Amino acid sequence: MSVDAKEMRDLAGRELQALFKWTADAATRPLPPAAQRRAAIILADDIGAIIAGSREPQVERARAGFLAAASGASEATVFARAGVRSDRAAAACANGMAITWCELDEGFRLASCHGGAYAIPALLAEAEARGLSTHEVVRAVALAYEFTTRIALAYPFPGFYVHPHAAFATLGAAVAVALVRGYSAATMQAAVTGAASMTFAGPFDTAVEGSLVRNGWTAAGAWIGMQACNWAEAGIGGGVHTIHDVFATSFRTRVRLEALTVGLGEAWSVASGYHKMFACCNYAHAAVEACLQLREQLNGRSVDDIREIVVEAGPSGLALSAVEPETVLSAKFSMPHAVAATTRLGTGGASAFTFDTLSDPGISSLRQRVRLAPCAEAGPPPRDRPARVSWVFNDGASMTAFVQNPRGGADQPFDEPTLIAKLADNAAADCPNAATELAAIIEGDGQALGRKWRETAARIVAQS
């Protein structure tokens, strides 16, 4: 190891220790009101994503397996129509399997990281089992999100070769459970570094190619994070340098150690989250928005007359190049499908990414006519995900729309009524009370925040 590498490793250890200390100390202090509200919105949005994913047939079968293998303890809620309760590990795995399934969960805008999806399944199960209040749950969401996203910011992957769900889910779950259990900084460090050593190299192309195991990584991460906490209590944990060794040395990420501690307690990561209205990878959202704008400008023309669609996108969007997606997941990670389906159907919602759309003749034919090209306007966040979409018609005429940055991030946020309406759409069929209960938490209603999370969860899944 070179002197520079050793010095960096030692500095990383000191910075990580400072981050652990801040996180453990912050668990004893109230959140700033703005951070609390944003954390509550993230919690609500991701529970909606869990409920939406819970009805998918593969998720239902996986859930049955988790419940069949459970201990029999009734500790935590599975957010699905049945509203069953199981032991905390089974509930965390079931909710973890569902949370990213529909690509409707919240994400972090400044790095490739879904801090809520990694923390919330284990956090909610553990909080319910331990009798925490809803207010304590919201605070834990904010702090677990802060920790997880700072790791992603400090150790960014230079290219799309490891998917963030595989890279960061174990850490997010472990720090969430550590917060719920009220660990000291030392015990939290042992648990989270242990979980980091058990992160896995899930290839990014697993999502692009549509292998559904990608949706299992948040379930596996929840289980590993919980076990890492159990083992830390038994004296089995990682070392202060483990996180750095895993990412900088094993994964060969870039290293930006200042991101671990700069602005702690002042600039909150929950403020830089984004929310989705389109049921696909966020890197395709600008192109979807552009297609919807073009549909509004047809003026009597028909999308059946489109000869070619040219999509100029940033580097992340260009990576979504599959023309013949084989599964619903791969369709969500296919720019050609997202653009073709939106163009044909007039929506980028869940109905544009169903199994039937994969073989739809009109959509399939149009996918073949999508051409990807680099977008000159691509820059650093939040300008890293632009799209210019041009429709070229059979008679040679063309129409173009440009979206510099898709809606949903901090610079162009969806308002809260829109997000609550999304939650109602996702949850109403299975959990009709979810939107009302979660809206009260977002509003900071004292009675709602004061309830035990166990009671709140029961109210969310109640059928009447």
What 8-state DSSP symbol labels residue 293? H
* Residue pLDDT, tens place only, 336-370: 999 999 999 999 998 899 989 999 999 999 999 99
User: Reduced to 3 states, what is the DSSP secondary structure of residue 77?
Assistant: strand
What is the Cα–Cα distance from 129 to 401, expressed in whole angstroms?
50
* Residue pLDDT, tens place only, 160-170: 899 999 999 99
Q: Are 37 and 442 in contact (CB under 8 A)?
A: yes
Q: Are 99 and 172 in contact (CB under 8 A)?
A: no
* Residue pLDDT, tens place only, 398-416: 999 999 999 998 889 999 9
- Given this model, what pLDDT does residue 121 score? 98
* Residue pLDDT, tens place only, 214-263: 999 999 999 999 999 999 999 999 999 999 999 999 999 999 999 999 99
383: confidence class by pLDDT, cuts 50, 70, 90? confident
- Given this model, what pLDDT does residue 348 score? 94
Residues 6+ apart with CB under 8 A from 103: 276, 279, 280, 281, 332, 353
Q: Are 190 and 237 in contact (CB under 8 A)?
A: yes
Global pTM reads 0.93
- Given this model, what pLDDT does residue 2 score? 53
What is the Cα–Cα distance from 118 to 99, expressed in whole angstroms?
9
Tokens, residue 97: 């399997």
What is the Cα–Cα distance from 385 to 378, expressed in whole angstroms?
7
* Maximum pairwise Cα distance, the chain: 72
- Given this model, what pLDDT does residue 3 score? 54
**In the chain, what are the domains?**
3-274 (1.10.4100.10), 282-403 (3.30.1330.120)
- Given this model, what pLDDT does residue 1 score? 45
Average pLDDT, the chain: 96
Q: Which residue has tokens 């030692």?
A: 10
Helix (H) or strand (E) holding 85, with range, is: strand 85-86
Q: Which residues of 263-276 are buried (b: 16+ CB within 10 A; e: fewer)?
A: ebeeebbbebbbbb
β-pairing verdict for 387-393 and 370-374: unpaired
